[in-house]
Amino acid sequence: MPKLEKSDLHGHIRAALDAEASTDVRTLVSDLHPADAANLLESIPPDQRHLVWDEVGLDVMGQILTEVSDGVRKDLVQAMDPQRLVSAVRELDIDDIADLIPDLPEEVIADVQLTVDQSARQNLDAVLSYPEDTAGGLMNVDTVTVREQLSLAVVLRYLRLRGELPEYTDKLFVVDRDNKLRGILFASTLLTSDAARRVRENMDDDPITFDPMDASEDVAAAFERYNLISAPVIDDTNTLLGRITIDDIVDVIRQEGEHTVMARAGVPEDEDLFAPATRTTKGRALWLGVNLVTAILASWVIAQFEESIEKLVALAVMMPIVASMGGNAGTQTLTVVIRGIGVGTITGSNAFRVLKKEFLVGGLNGIIWAIAVAAVATFWYHDYGLGLIVAIAMIINVIAAAVAGVLIPVFLDRAGIDPALASGVALTTITDVVGFLAVLGLAALFLL
């Protein structure tokens, strides 16, 4: 019964690709679940990727396209015949088509819109009218609706006539003749209640609902908080527009986590592992350029003290330690604060408390590592004065790091800038500049 032998299957396919055994590749690929096929396509270089893609059946192509990362999707879409692409895409759910649209060529979009039926086209237009990262962008239109005056027995009969239910149908939506939402009826209620009773008596008439413009991370938080599997999206006239399901929420949560990690390192989220080196270099260049500017700024500070370094070259040896410890301690604070802002435990009203606490932690850390680094300096150079200067510089820099680690993300967040993206560069600029300045400046003032 275990269906988790993905890695074995991937291994066999990779081996068959390397051996250029195309018949084996075809047989093996046809066994892959779409999600596993997507994973495989991301883990092989473009030439092999296109070989595998040619073996994928038209019936699962659309689904695989929705599952692969943005970078790989672009690569596959570019290489595809437009007519095949239209056929692969138009069988998908409306919300999935909407997700793919930004990556499709214009002619394909027009063809897809022409070939889906009238109601699907209206639904597609509706979903496309909302930004991708909102409830409207997440929603699907496959709602099952019932009327409140019916008996549960009639609803059950209706469902039997209807046949299969859409995935994640844990509740039906109760609407009036104008499609206004009146409440929700849980599938489990249908299964456990007296069939003679009416929908009205068994429905929840105050369910959790979303507005199409709600931010997707707020929707995800509500799904977690209220243990939802699906939830209705309604407009401000209470009209049912669609529903959001837990699978899309899981994607949102997964992406939130990846976004933080990728953004902090300055890597584009849609980076294709096997894109040409030139494209990858280009995607990462801006970030490195920004970092170069900050590194030059820090070096400019050093350049102001060339005379001091000439007199006491030990300063050049000790200053990177002070800068580096500030950077590391500050990154710890930064990480905690960015997380707190993200999950909502740090807000404007308690940020000052966090600052006070991190200031204390910085002071304690500063003293501990000041002693350590003073010991190293004195041991290496037998110079108590140098040890003292470096120790004081360490305390100053670690405290500055703690303060910057709180203030930078709080201010960026307030300014509407994603703290995960910009905080790290700003922090290390401060800890480098303060670290170098403290060591060299104090030495120039008191030692030389």
358-377 positions binding a second copy, by CB under 8 A: 360-361, 363-365, 368-369, 372-373, 376
Tell me which of 21, 110, 313, 371 binds a second copy, using CB under 8 A.
Answer: 313
N- to C-terminal Cα distance for the chain? 76
Q: Which is nearer to a second copy, 121 or 284 (CB)?
A: 284
Q: Which stretch binds a second copy (CB under 8 A): 51-59, 108-116, 120-128, 280-288?
A: 280-288
Instruction: For residue 102, state whether it binds a second copy (rule: CB under 8 A).
Output: no
| Closer residue to a second copy in complex, CB, 4/415 | 4
- Alpha helix segments (H runs only) across 142-196: 152-162, 187-192
In the three-class reduction of DSSP (H, G, I as helix; E, B as strand; rest coil), residue 134 is classed as strand
Pick 2 or 81: Cβ nearer a second copy: 2
CB of 159 to a second copy, least distance (A): 5
Q: Which residues in 326-345 contact a second copy (CB under 8 A)? A: 328-329, 331-332, 334-336, 338-340, 343-345
CB closer to a second copy out of 354 and 437: 354
Q: For residue 366, give the nearest of 399, 333, 402 by alpha carbon.
A: 399
Among 10, 90, 182, 243, binds a second copy (CB under 8 A): 10
Residue ranges in 205-224 that form contacts with a second copy under rule CB under 8 A? 206-209, 211, 214, 218, 222-224
Percent composition of the chain: helix, strand, coil (DSSP 3-state, to 5): 70, 5, 25
306 binds a second copy (CB under 8 A): yes
Between 78 and 379, whose beta carbon lies closer to a second copy? 379
Token pair listed for 243: 């529903």
Binding mask 233-262 for a second copy (x = CB under 8 A): -x-----------xx-xx--xx-xxx-xxx
Q: E-strand spans in 235-387?
A: 240-245
Q: Taking the alpha carbons of 130, 134, 137, 141 in that order, is the dihedral positive or negative? A: negative
Residue from the set 91, 132, 170, 270 that interacts with a second copy by CB under 8 A: 170
267 binds a second copy (CB under 8 A): yes
Amino acid identity of residue 292, one-letter, is L
**Under rule CB under 8 A, residue 274 binds a second copy:** yes
Nearest approach, Cβ of residue 302 and a second copy (Å): 5
* Token pair in block for residue 260: 């933080």
Contact positions with a second copy (CB under 8 A) in 30-69: 33, 35-36, 39, 42-45
Q: Where are the alpha helices (DSSP H) in 344-383?
A: 351-381
Segment near a second copy (CB under 8 A); pick from 80-88, 106-114, 121-129, 311-319:
311-319
Nearer to a second copy, 121 or 314 (CB): 314
Q: Residue 32 or residue 109: which is nearer to a second copy going by CB?
A: 32
How distant is the alpha carbon of residue 439 from its chain centre? Answer: 39
CA–CA separation, 446 vs 448, rounded Å? 6
Q: Which one among 24, 217, 271, 418 touches a second copy, defined by CB under 8 A?
A: 271
Which single residue is written with the structure tokens 């027995």?
A: 153
Which of 101, 120, 154, 229 forms a contact with a second copy (CB under 8 A)?
Answer: 229
* 163 is an interface residue for a second copy by CB under 8 A: yes
Q: Are 241 and 95 in contact (CB under 8 A)?
A: no
Q: Which residues 6+ apart lie within 8 Å of 215 measured at CB?
A: 133, 134, 135
Tell the residue number behind the tokens 């609902």, with chain if given: 209
Compute the distance between CA of residue 274 and CA of residue 42 in angstroms, rounded to an integer: 8
Question: In the complex with a second copy, which residue's Cβ is closer, 36 or 99?
Answer: 36
Q: What is the DSSP letter of 204?
A: B
CA 97 – CA 65 distance, rounded (Å): 10
125/167 with CB nearer a second copy: 167
Cα–Cα distances (Å) from 68 to 3, 316, 422, in that order, read: 20, 49, 27
